[in-house]
Structure 1
Amino acid sequence: MKVLICGAGIAGLTLAWHLERAGWEVELVEKAAAFRDGGYMIDFYGPGYQVAERMGLRPRLQRDRYPVDELSYVDRDGRQTSHLKLTSGLEDVVSLLRGDLARAIADDVRSPVTYGATVEAADQHAGGVSVRLTDGTTREVDLLVGADGTRSRVRELAFGEVTPRYLGHRVSAYVMTDAELSHRVGTRYQMLTEPGLMAGAYALRDDRLALLFLRREPDPVLSDDPAGELRRHFGGRGWILPEALARCPRPPELYHDLVTQVELERWHRGRIALLGDACQAVSLFAGHGASMAMAAAWILADELTTPGELTTSGDLTAPGHLTAPGELTDALARYQYRMTPVITEVQRFGRRFIQWMAPSSRWRIHARDLLFRLAALPGGNRLFVNSLSPGGHNLITSRSNVLEKS
């Protein structure tokens, strides 16, 4: 069985890892000219972390993780207004750059990746899918998977134009090197929030600093000058922002996008399936996109292979009785059935959490600061952690049935 995966991000790479070990012939295509490093800091846990452990990635992720010992809010003068010590309750959460997680998976994927190309056309027929890429080459495959993000080209080919649900905010992120600023921020996640604005920073290794910006904006049209836009809206806000934004890069080093969710009734059509943000985007506000991407990839691979073929080691298994072409539709339907409930829950949580992560008014900022002070009381740390996860931290991390067939 041959599969072409469009998108070499976390979802696409995870699917490739599993299918190649089950004997599939796998190829990936990626629109970006090269592997995409960097991105913003994520808290990685839940079903996705369980998948990473099954893939043998735990030692690599523990090596690449960053210690986050405090969440801290500051004012324009850099004075702390509220904070929360993270000394307990987050032992099973790994904080790392999104790009570092993708790199850990990519380093263990053996299938070829064609960079600088994407899917231009796809024609389904009785024997498979004829795919034409933007570089002019063609492929004949049994299955085409679109793991190509919220603006998925594969989704457009299969379902026509789909408008993601805009959550009223723009997000930007970049990594810079500055020993003084990195030392000043330290091993704590610092944030400055004002109504409709949030800027966060965290120190990385090698004197680097990761920065994240959120801004409320009703117009869902991206600026042609995202660096200039950041300077206009954040440059006069004090703290470390004037120095940091003076060296703000341009895309692609500067990540800049709309905060959206993707909601579809169907994730597949014939021999074309969608994965990750192409059909399941939960948004930055939900904070579980990477975990959901890896969980969904595991489930899709599980349905496309016979029992026992998903290994926990890096060794290739002997190809078993792979899913026959006529069984693909049923396998894809089961994949969606298993994954839909948790995606729906996490998306709902993301929409509720907007007002806490990016408060729209002063009173909401004061309410958040009060929550932090309550969290400092005995037992408050665990309550706070539960409030930051859909259904509670324990539920999302212990829900093993998300990864198991019912």
Structure 2
Amino acid sequence: MEAVVCGAGIAGLSAAHFLSANGWDVTVVERAAGPRPEGYMIDFFGPGWQAAGQMGITGRIRELGYRVDRVDYVDGTGRSAAHLGSESFTKMVGDRLTSILRPDLELAIREALPAAVQLHYGTTVTGIAARAGAAGGRGGKVDVALSDGRQLTADLLVGADGIHSEIRSKVFGPESAYFRFLGFHVGAYSFRDGHLQDVPDNRYVITDTHGEAMFFYRLRDGSISVLGVHRTEQVERPADIRQEFKTRYRKLGWLCPQALEHCPEEFYYDQVAQIRMPRWSSGRVVLLGDAAGAVSLLAGQGASLAMAGAYVLADELAAHADVPSALAAFEERWRPRVAEHQKAGESAAKWFVPRTRRALLLRRLFLRLIRVPGVSRLVSGAVVGRTGAAV
């Protein structure tokens, strides 16, 4: 059996790993010229740990990852206005939690790819054509045209090319039919500045602000990872994202103006949104990860869900005699988990970056209450959700 995977991000690389491990011949194509260095810090926990265990990379993830002992919300002078410890949360997930840069998580998966996987950067899918098969879904194929001129014939095409998936557009129609904007834009980059010593090790430091907020974390090489999230009614990316970013966050005070001096000409910037689709597959084409059901960074666990979803997809393909039946079973099994986290993402939008000063004060109160043992367990359980459930 042969599969073409479009996208060499977390979902695509995970799909390539599990399919190859199950005996598939896998070709991965990625539009970017090489692994993308841009990305932000994520908290990796939940169902992805089981998938990582199947890959044998949990040790590598811990090696590349970071320990976060505390989250500090600071005012314009850098003074802590509220904080949150990690103790109650880690009690819920044990040691199956680390913070890691998205490119580093991709690195861990890429390092573990079976040698038989063919990985081609600077290449993407330009054409898709289905070949009819026998009744019951047997014998069908999909012809895949690539930008380098090659023509591949496969049993399965996996669209794992992110929230702005070209595979989805080619097979299921325009992005606008499935794109649900959540009212935020986000940008991220890393920089070095020896004069900025106010970001301690093993802590997230976040501006205690409404409308927009900046998140800081010191990396082990001494550089600082910064993430900016701001509310906006404008769905489309601004024409000059660097100028927009600097204008929106300069007013926050503390380290923000200095950090913005290091904002590069090109950096990660996107809308915060979800993808809601009535179905994830058509014939021999299936969508995976953000291409199928992006949950947004507000929900968390997007990377974890991408890895676990790839594991479930490969598992169902191994369990069924024909591909269409396997894709239907995959969606029936995995869609409820994705829907659960999409719902959480919509709820999180209310407090992730508060809209008003009043909402900001309510968040401070919430953070004080969460330190109460009973409340802490309740809230942590709601955040973790079905982390321990098998995929």
Compute the TM-score of the two structures, normalised by the length of structure 2: 0.93
Alpha-carbon displacement from aligned partner over 1:138-179 (angstroms, at most 9, x marks no partner): 211111110001111111111111321111110111111224
In structure 1, the partner of 2:121 is 115
In structure 1, the partner of 2:145 is 132
Alignment of 1:86-125 (within 5 A): 86-90=86-90, 91=94, 92-109=96-113, 110=115, 111-125=117-131
Structure 2 CA distance, aligned partners of 1:29 and 1:179?
39
How much does 1:38 deviate? 4.2
Amino acid corresponding to residue 19 of structure 1 in structure 2: L
Structure 2 CA distance, aligned partners of 1:398 and 1:119?
37
Q: Secondary structure at the match of 1:181?
A: coil
In structure 1, the partner of 2:312 is 299
Alignment of 1:32-111 (within 5 A): 32-90=32-90, 91=94, 92-109=96-113, 110=115, 111=117
Instruction: Indicate yes or no: 2:274 matched with 1:261.
Output: yes
Amino acid corresponding to residue 235 of structure 2 in structure 1: P
Instruction: Indicate yes or no: 2:23 matched with 1:23.
Output: yes
Q: Secondary structure at the match of 2:87?
A: coil
Instruction: Indicate yes or no: 2:368 matched with 1:373.
Output: yes
In structure 1, the partner of 2:136 is none
Structure 1 CA distance, aligned partners of 2:359 and 2:241?
27
Higher mean alpha-carbon deviation, 4-13 vs 91-100, is at 91-100
Q: Secondary structure at the match of 1:212?
A: strand
Alpha-carbon displacement from aligned partner over 1:112-152 (angstroms, at most 9, x marks no partner): 21111211110111241111112222211111110001111
Alignment of 1:1-400 (within 5 A): 1-90=1-90, 91=94, 92-109=96-113, 110=115, 111-126=117-132, 127-163=140-176, 164-181=179-196, 184-251=199-266, 254-306=267-319, 327-387=322-382, 389=383, 393=384, 395-400=385-390
In the superposition, relative to structure 1, how do residues 209 and 2 fare at CA in structure 2: closer, same or farther (>3 Å)?
same
Structure 2 CA distance, aligned partners of 1:183 and 1:190?
9
Compute the TM-score of the two structures, normalised by the length of structure 1: 0.89
Amino acid corresponding to residue 280 of structure 2 in structure 1: W
- For structure 1, which runs of at least 5 residues remain unmatched after alignment? 307-322
Higher mean alpha-carbon deviation, 173-182 vs 77-86, is at 173-182
Higher mean alpha-carbon deviation, 190-199 vs 256-265, is at 190-199
Q: Is the 8 A contact 1:193 1:359 kept in 2?
A: no
Q: Is the 8 A contact 1:182 1:203 kept in 2?
A: no
Higher mean alpha-carbon deviation, 146-155 vs 78-87, is at 78-87
Q: Is the 8 A contact 2:274 2:342 kept in 1?
A: yes
Structure 1 CA distance, aligned partners of 2:242 and 2:14?
32
Structure 2 CA distance, aligned partners of 1:237 and 1:185?
19
Structure 1 CA distance, aligned partners of 2:103 and 2:62?
15
In the superposition, relative to structure 1, how do residues 38 and 49 fare at CA in structure 2: closer, same or farther (>3 Å)?
farther
How much does 1:54 deviate? 2.0
How much does 1:183 deviate? 5.6
In structure 1, the partner of 2:135 is none
Structure 2 CA distance, aligned partners of 1:287 and 1:6?
23
Structure 1 CA distance, aligned partners of 2:197 and 2:241?
23
Amino acid corresponding to residue 107 of structure 1 in structure 2: E
Higher mean alpha-carbon deviation, 50-59 vs 22-31, is at 50-59
Higher mean alpha-carbon deviation, 261-270 vs 221-230, is at 221-230
Percent identical? 40
Q: Is the 8 A contact 1:47 1:295 kept in 2?
A: yes
Q: Is the 8 A contact 1:182 1:207 kept in 2?
A: no
Paired positions, count: 376
Q: Is the 8 A contact 1:261 1:347 kept in 2?
A: yes
Q: Secondary structure at the match of 1:14?
A: helix
In the superposition, relative to structure 1, how do residues 194 and 266 fare at CA in structure 2: closer, same or farther (>3 Å)?
same
- For structure 2, which runs of at least 5 residues remain unmatched after alignment? 133-139
Amino acid corresponding to residue 396 of structure 1 in structure 2: R
Structure 1 CA distance, aligned partners of 2:198 and 2:250?
20
In the superposition, relative to structure 1, how do residues 244 and 269 fare at CA in structure 2: closer, same or farther (>3 Å)?
same
How much does 1:186 deviate? 2.9
Q: Is the 8 A contact 1:37 1:103 kept in 2?
A: no
Structure 2 CA distance, aligned partners of 1:186 and 1:294?
28
Q: Is the 8 A contact 2:45 2:97 kept in 1?
A: yes
Amino acid corresponding to residue 17 of structure 1 in structure 2: H
